[in-house]
Structure 1
Amino acid sequence: MIRTPRPSHLAAAAVLLASVTACGGAPGAQDAGGGGGADDRIRLAMLQPPRSGLSPLSDDAFKLSRWSTAETLVTLDDEGGALPGLATSWEQADDLTWRFAVRDGVSFHDGTELTAEQAAASLTAAAEASPPPRILDGVTLTAEADGDTLVVTTGEPDPLVPQRLSSPQLAVLAASAYAPDGTVSPVGTGTGPYELTEVAGTAGATLERFEDYWGEPAQAAGLDVSYVPDGTARAAALRTGEADVVEAVPVGQLTQIDPALIHEVPMPRTNTLYLNTSEGPFADPAVRAAAREAIDRARLVADVYEGRADEAEGLLGPAIPWAADLRDDACAELLGERPEPAQVDGVEISLGTFTDRAELPEVAVLLEQELEAVGFEVEQDVREYQFIEADALDGAFDAFILSRATVLDSGDPVAYLYSDFACEGSFNIAQLCDEDVDAALEEAAALPVGPERQAATMAVEALVLGADAVVPLLHERVVQGESERVEDALRDPRERALVDASTSVG
C-alpha cells in the first residue's frame, strides 16, 4: 500500500500546485523532509503523472528508474550491451537456462537483504502479472533460486535474456512490495540510492537519500518530484529556477529560456501516425496509402519542431546508427508494392493524440490540414495521455499520433516491434495482425545480438511499413532543462536515467 504523505508535505504540495496554476511554475517541495536542507535537494519537473499508481510492472517503472530508487539485475551500456547491476555476472547454461550471481551486501529500503530467492520472486511476480510487462510480451519466463544463484528459464531459446532483465519493469523489490491482491508498491521497497518515501497521487512524490545504499551514497539529501504535464509550466519552472531538472521542454518555449540551461538529447523515439488496420476506413490498404501520401514530414519538422527533429524514413531513426544502412533493395521493393492511394473524398476519420508532449497537438493540427486537403474529413480527440491510452489500445480511433521510444525496454528494437505490431502485442494501436510480420518477429527474436539480428529487425520494419500500418513522421531530439545549480544530471537517450547518486545541487 502506498503510504500517505505527512501533513507538512501535503500542505507544501497544495501550495506548489496552486503556484503552477496561477503563474506556470513547477511544483517543488518546500519541506526538506529529513534528508537535509531544501538547498541540498533536487527538484524534478516530470512530464507525465503516474498511469498505474507507480506500479513497477507498468510504464511507471521508468519513473522509478529515472529517480534511482528501483534497480535491476542488469544494466546497459551506451551500445545496448549488458552490464552488471544487482547481478554481478551471468552465464548461459543451455539454450533455455541462464544463471545469475546475485550481488552480496545489498539492502532493500525496508531493511531486508537482497537474496536470489527474492530476486526470483520479483521476476515471478512480473511474469505472472496480467497483463505482463511489455518486455515479456511473447516470452515465457520462470525464475527460481539455487542457493545464492538466480536461475532464469525461458520457454524458447532467447539470446536477449540479460538485456530483458535490464528493463525497469523487471526491477527487484523487497517482499513487502507485493500484496496478496497482486498490487505492487515501490514505496520503501527498492534498492537504489534514493528511497521513495511519500507519494501524493498525480501531484508528486518525495524521495530521501538511502544511507545504507550498497554503492556510492547519493550526493543530494533527496528528490522532490512534481508532475507537470503542461509544457509551458515546465518551461516556466526552468526559466524561473523553481525546478532543477525538467523533462521535455517544448521547442516552442526555447526562445524564452537561457540557452545554457538547455540540453538536446538525441532519442531513439519516433513520432508515428498509427492507422487502425482492423476496422473503419483504414482497414482498406488503399485508404491507408492515401493517408501516407498526404503527409509532409518536412513541414512537420520545420513548423512544429523548428528543425530540432529528423524526418523519418522508417520506424528506427538516427539514434540507432545501423538502421539506415540496412534498409536495402529488398525493403525498397516491398514498399514499391504498396497499393495506389484511393480517392477519399468525404471519408470520415477520427484522429487522436495527447497533450502531455506539447508538440503533438500541433502535429495533429497540421496532419488534419494535410489529410483534409486530399479529401478526408477529420475529427480530432486530444486529451491527457492517462485519459486516452485505454481508448487508443482498444482501437477506438481510426488514426492515432504517438511519440514512441523504440528501444525503451531492452536496448533492442525487437521488443518494441513485437509490442506494437505482433498479433498478440500489448501495445498494438494499429490493431495489426499479419502472419508474415509475426513470422519475421519470431525469426528476429531467436537470433543472437549482432548483425544477423539487426538485418532481421529491419525485415520486420519493412513488412510493417509495407502494410501501411503506420506512417513514421519524425525522430525526436528531446530537450532537457537543467538549472544552473544542478551538476551531473543524466541525459539518457533511453529515458531510463535522470538523476543518480552522483547528481548534486550547489
Structure 2
Amino acid sequence: MHPPRPPRRPRLLTAFLLAPLLTGCFAATGDAGAAAGGKDAARLRVALAFPPAENLSPYGADATILSRLGVTEGLTALDANGAAVPALASSWRREDDRTWRFTLREAVFQDGTEVTPAAVVTALTRAGRAAPAPAALSGVTLTARAQGATGVRITTTDPDPVLPLRLTSPSLAVLAPKAYGGKGAVDPVGTATGPFTLTAVTGTTSAALDRFDDYWGGRAQASGIDARFIADGTARANALRTGQIDLAEAIPVSQAAALDAGSRRETATTRTTSLLLNTESGTFKDAALRAAARAAVDTGALAEGVYEGHADPGAGIYGPAVTWAGGKRLTPTGRAKAKKPDGAPVTLATYDNRPELPEAAQVLKQQLEKAGFTVQLEVREYSRLESDALAGKFDAFVGARNSLLDTGDPVSLLASDFTCDGGYNLALLCDKDVDRAVERARTVADTSERQDAALAAEAVILATDAVVPLVHQRVVTGVADTVGGVLLDPYERTLVGTGTRR
C-alpha cells in the first residue's frame, strides 16, 4: 500500500489524452490503449533473455529490463521514427546552445511521492556521477537545476543539439529520491514512474511486478507481471509452447519455425551483430591482421546459415532498420593491406544469452582458421563476460548491439563504442581520426546533416577494421494467441505497456 500523499490536481483528462502517446509509439498486437471501464486482464507471464547483471541498476545493461517491463521512464521517450516525444516532461525548449528547459507533467512515483523538479535533478545528477557513466552520457557533462514548481533547466558543458533525444535513454530513467543510496547504489523497487512497479526480485531468476494504479498515462489492463529470466533460448520457446508463459523475447531462429505462425512476431531492429577486434593488444593490434580477419568473414553465410534468413548481411554499423542510412552510406577508404596470419593466435569470445551468437562464433572460428589464424573459442553468460571484454582480455568478441538503444542518436553510439574515452569500447579503439570525425558529427544540430556526419564517421571507423559488421538482425518475439497489445519496438526498449493483456 502506498503511503498517504497530499491532495493533487485532477489529472484524469490529461492522462486520457496522453496515454496513446507512448503506448502507440510502436506496433502492437491488438489494441494499444486500456479500455475505459473494461475488465482487468490477468497477470502477464513474461520470459526475458537477459538476467540482471547489475542488481537492476539503471546505469548499465539492466536499464532495458526495466524499460521493457514498463517500470521506468525518463523525461522523454523515443517514437517509431526515432524522434524524442514527451514522457515525464510534457514539453521543452532550447534557450541557448548549451541550455534546455523542460516542463514536467503532473505525475507521481510508485512510492506515492510527487515527481518534482528537485527529484529530477537528483536523478540526473546521480546518473552523471555513476561509474562507469551510462553510455547515453558518453562524452557529455550536464548540470540540472530546478526552476520553479514544474521546470528543470539542463546545461551541458559543450553544445548538445540532441539533448532531448539523449534523455530518452533507459539509463537516464527518473526514480524517486529514496531510490538512491550510498556508494552509487540505486534501488528501482517501488521507486519508478511506469505503469508497473517492481515488488520483488529473486536474484537472477525472476521478478514480480504489480500494476501501478496512479500511473500518469492511464491504468494498465494487466493486473501485474510475473517475469522469469531464462537465458536459454530453447527453454524460452518451450515455455511458450507449453503454456507456461505468455510472452517470450528473443526467440532463437532455430526455434521460430516450431512456433505456430500466429505466435511469431518478427520485427526489423536496429541491432547489428558484429565482430569486434582488440586494437590495443594481442594479434589484432596489427591493422594488417585486422584486415585479414575482415577479408576472411563471409557475412552472407552467417545471415542465411546461422540466422536462417532472419537477418541481413552486415552493411555497416547501422542496418536496414535505420532507414535513412542506406542511401547515404560511404565507402571506407585508407584501410590497411591484409597480410597472411601465419597461425597468429586469436581468443574469440561471445555469450550465450542470444543463442545464435555461439553458433555465429563457431562459424567465424572456422572462417578465420581457414584464413590462417589459430582460434580458441570461449563462450560464457553475458554477465560473466562483459568486464573481461571491456578489459581487453580477448582478441576478438562477437556481440549484438542495438545501434540506437542508448540514446536514439546515431552519433552517441559511435562516441560510446569507438572513441578513446568511450564507455563501451569493446575494441579498445583509440584513433585520432575517428575521434575527430565523431567530434565533428557531435556538433551538428540539423537532423539530416547530423546523419550525414554520422555516416562519414562510420566510414572512418570501418576503415580501421576494429569492427566487422556481420548481420543486421530481425528479432522474433513469441506471443501466445491469447495476448494482445504487445509493443514491438525496433529499438528494443519496450515490450509491455498499458494495453498489453491476456
Q: Which residue of 2 aligns with 1:297?
A: 299
> In the aligned structure 2, how far is the partner of 1:398 from the partner of 1:449?
38
Q: Which residue of 2 aligns with 1:429?
A: 426
Q: Which residue of 1 aligns with 2:155?
A: 153
Q: Which residue of 1 aligns with 2:16?
A: none
Question: Structure 2 residue aligned with 1:369, among 359, 366, 371?
Answer: 366
Letter in 2 for 1:349: V
Q: Which residue of 1 aligns with 2:219?
A: 217
> In the aligned structure 1, how far is the partner of 2:448 from the partner of 2:165?
17
Q: Which residue of 1 aligns with 2:8?
A: none
Q: Cα offset for 1:38?
A: 11
Q: Secondary structure of the equivalent of 2:184?
A: coil
Alignment size in residue pairs: 463
Q: Which residue of 1 aligns with 2:356?
A: 359
Q: Secondary structure of the equivalent of 1:150?
A: strand
Change (3 A) 1:239 1:91: same
Return the TM-score normalized by structure 2: 0.91
Q: Secondary structure of the equivalent of 1:113?
A: coil
Q: Secondary structure of the equivalent of 2:182?
A: coil
Change (3 A) 1:39 1:76: closer
Question: Retained in 2: the 8 A contact 1:68–1:194?
Answer: yes
Q: Secondary structure of the equivalent of 1:360?
A: helix
In percent, how many aligned pairs have the same letter? Answer: 49
> In the aligned structure 2, how far is the partner of 1:411 from the partner of 1:476?
17
Question: Retained in 1: the 8 A contact 2:42–2:222?
Answer: yes
Q: Which residue of 2 aligns with 1:244?
A: 246
Alignment of 1:350-429 (within 5 A): 350-429=347-426
Q: Which residue of 2 aligns with 1:454?
A: 451
Letter in 1 for 2:189: V
Change (3 A) 1:229 1:449: farther
> In the aligned structure 1, how far is the partner of 2:133 from the partner of 2:281?
26
Question: Retained in 2: the 8 A contact 1:141–1:154?
Answer: yes
Q: Which residue of 1 aligns with 2:47?
A: 45
Q: Deviations over 1:438-492 (max 9, x none)?
A: 1111111111141110111011110111011111101000100100111111100
2:115 counterpart of 1:118 = no
Q: Cα offset for 1:497?
A: 0.6
- Range moving further from structure 2, 393-402 or 37-46: 37-46
> In the aligned structure 2, how far is the partner of 1:215 from the partner of 1:404?
30
Q: Cα offset for 1:129?
A: 1.2
Letter in 2 for 1:155: T
Letter in 1 for 2:181: A
Q: Cα offset for 1:156?
A: 0.4
Q: Secondary structure of the equivalent of 1:459?
A: helix
Letter in 1 for 2:226: D
Q: Which residue of 1 aligns with 2:438?
A: 441
Q: Cα offset for 1:181?
A: 2.6
Q: Secondary structure of the equivalent of 2:257?
A: helix
Q: Which residue of 2 aligns with 1:131?
A: 132
Question: Structure 2 residue aligned with 1:485, among 472, 477, 482?
Answer: 482
Q: Cα offset for 1:144?
A: 1.1
Q: Deviations over 1:84-137 (max 9, x none)?
A: 110011111111111000112x11111111101111110011011111111001
Question: Structure 1 residue aligned with 2:281, among 279, 282, 286?
Answer: 279
- Range moving further from structure 2, 228-237 or 61-70: 61-70
Q: Secondary structure of the equivalent of 1:326?
A: coil
Return the TM-score normalized by structure 1: 0.90
Question: Retained in 2: the 8 A contact 1:275–1:399?
Answer: yes
Instruction: Could you list the structure 1 runs, at least 4 aligned residues long, displaced by more than 6 angstroms after superposition.
Output: none
Contiguous gaps of at least 5 residues in structure 1: 1-36
> In the aligned structure 1, how far is the partner of 2:127 from the partner of 2:181?
13
> In the aligned structure 1, how far is the partner of 2:375 from the partner of 2:211?
50
2:492 counterpart of 1:495 = yes
Q: Secondary structure of the equivalent of 1:181?
A: helix
